Amino acid sequence: MSTTEKRLTRLPLVKWLAIELGLVTLISLAWITESRLAGYSAFIGGLIYIIPNVYFAHRMYRFEGARNAHLVVGNMFRAETIKLALTAVFFAAVFILMEPVHVPALFFTFAVMVVAGSVIRWRIQPKARR
User: By mean pLDDT, which of 26-35, 65-74, 111-120 is the weakest?
Assistant: 65-74
Average pLDDT over residues 63-81: 73
Separation of alpha carbons 51 and 49, rounded Å: 6
Separation of alpha carbons 63 and 1, rounded Å: 8
Separation of alpha carbons 67 and 88, rounded Å: 34
Instruction: Please tell me the predicted confidence (pLDDT) of residue 63.
Output: 60
Q: Is the pLDDT of residue 32 over 60?
A: yes
Structure confidence by residue, pLDDT tens digits, 75-125: 788 888 999 999 999 999 999 999 899 999 999 999 999 999 889 888 877
Instruction: Please tell me the predicted confidence (pLDDT) of residue 124.
Output: 77
Instruction: Please tell me the predicted confidence (pLDDT) of residue 93.
Output: 96
Separation of alpha carbons 117 and 28, rounded Å: 16
* Residue 12 near residue 124, CB atoms below 8 Å: yes
